Structure 1
C-alpha cells in the first residue's frame, strides 16, 4: 500500500500550499500494519449533500454513531494527548488531523494499546477537514505544540493565522473551548494577537498545565532544553 495520506473527502480539493513533512524515517513493519489494517476504519465518514450539491459535509453523528460532543485535535504529533483525552473522556468523540504519516502510524499503535474506540483519524491537512465539517459542530479544539516556524518570513505558515482560525471558528460551537500549548514565546504572542479577532475570547493564559493534561514528548523536550511551556485557553464567542 502507499504510505501517502490522501483526502477522504473531496475528489477535487482546493489547491493549497502545504508546508512541513509528510514522511519521516522508514516505517517499521508493525506500523505499516497499523496503517493497512486500522486506518481505513478510523477515517471520518458520513458525507451528506445539502441543497447545494457543491457543498458536501461530514456528519459527526455518522462518524461516532450518536450525538455525543465532538472534539478536534489539530496536528496530534505522536498521539499521546489525543489518546489520553479519548481514554479520559469516553463519552466524547475526538477527531485528530495529522499529515505526517509517521505520526499517524504512532497514533494507531497507541489506539490499539489503549483500546479506545471514540476516535477518528484524518491523515491530512486540517483545512481539508474543516472544509466539510458543519457549522458549530465542534465543542472543543486542541493545538498542542504546533510546528513553530520560527523564522519571521514563515510566521504566515503557523496555524494561528486567519487562514486557519476563521474556518476553525466556523465549525466551533458558541462557547466552545480552544486550547493552545507551546514552548515558543513568539508563537504564544501571535496566538494572543490573532485568535481573538477570529471570534474568540481569552479565558486563561498561564504557564500551568490544565488539570487533565498529559505531558507529551514535545513538552518534555522543551523542559530538557530550558524552555517554559505556556497554555492558553480561548472560548468561541
Structure 2
C-alpha cells in the first residue's frame, strides 16, 4: 500500500480542509497574535538534537498530537503527565485559538509547543527517534471513495511516524468510522516498523488508561457511532 496506490505524493504535498470557521472572539484573537508566536515551532530553524531543548521547563520525553481540534485531549494529557513535553499540530484557526486559551488558563506554555499547519512538514523536520508517543485522534475520515487518498494514514505517513518514534514508542489512533479503523489496521499490520498491541477483541473497543475523551468522541456516540482505539508499538 505505497506510492500512487494510496495517494502518498498528493497527500504529502497538500492540506485538505478548512483553515478557519466563525470569527474569533477578541480574547482568542489576541492569543493568536501574542501567545501563539511564543509557542510556535519555527521549521525554518534546524531541529534541536534533543527535542527537550524546545521547552522552557525540563521534560523527560516528548509526545506529539496531530490535528488536536480544540485541544481537549492535548491539554488533559499534558496536565496528567507533568514530566512530558508536548508538540501539537492543528491547522484550523478556531481549534488553535481554543487550545491557546486553555494553555494560557492552565499555565502550560512551558511544556507545549505548537505548529499551526499540517503535520507532514513538522514530521519531516523532527529528528529520528525523537518522540515517545504520537497521537492521531478522530482524523477526518474522508468517507467518499474518491477522497480516500486524502486520509492521513497511509504508507508514506506511517513511514514518517516510524522514523520519529523511538523503539518501543507508541502510535495511538482513535476513530468512530469503521472503514477508517479497518483501513488504519491494514496499513499498520502491513508496515514492518509497527506491531498492533491488542491481545483480546476488547482491546480496541475500550480507550486506553487515562483517556479524557474529546468533543468529537461525544458527538460520535450521540450519533450512534462506536469509537475504536488502536495502539501500535514501534518495533
Partners of 1:122 and 1:95 in 2: how far apart? 8
Superposed displacement of residue 88, structure 1: 0.2
Aligned residues of 2:189 and 2:195 also touching (Cα < 8 A): yes
Structure 2 partner of 1:137: 130
Aligned residues of 1:47 and 1:58 also touching (Cα < 8 A): no
Write the mapping of 1:7-46 to structure 2, written as runs, cut at 5 A.
Answer: 16-44=13-41
TM-score, normalised on structure 1? 0.86
Partners of 1:45 and 1:58 in 2: how far apart? 11
Aligned length: 216
1:206 to 201, 204, 218: 204
What are the superposed Cα offsets for residues 79-118 of structure 1, whole Å, 9 maximum, x if unpaired? 0000001000010001000111111101001112222231
Aligned residues of 1:183 and 1:230 also touching (Cα < 8 A): yes
Question: Which residues of structure 1 form unaligned runs of 5+?
Answer: 1-14, 49-55
Flag as ranges the 4+ runs of structure 1 deviating above 6 A: none
What are the superposed Cα offsets for residues 123-149 of structure 1, whole Å, 9 maximum, x if unpaired? 011011011100000110101111110
Write the mapping of 1:83-232 to structure 2, written as runs, cut at 5 A.
Answer: 83-116=75-108, 117-198=110-191, 199-204=193-198, 205-232=203-230
SS in 2 for 1:219: helix
Structure 1 partner of 2:52: 61
Question: Which residues of structure 2 form unaligned runs of 5+?
Answer: 1-11
Superposed displacement of residue 46, structure 1: 8.8
TM-score, normalised on structure 2? 0.87
Residues 112 and 164 of structure 1, relative CA distance in 2, 3 Å threshold: same
Superposed displacement of residue 61, structure 1: 2.4
Q: Which has the higher helix share?
A: 2
Aligned residues of 2:175 and 2:229 also touching (Cα < 8 A): yes
Partners of 1:58 and 1:127 in 2: how far apart? 18
Superposed displacement of residue 25, structure 1: 1.0
Aligned residues of 1:45 and 1:63 also touching (Cα < 8 A): no
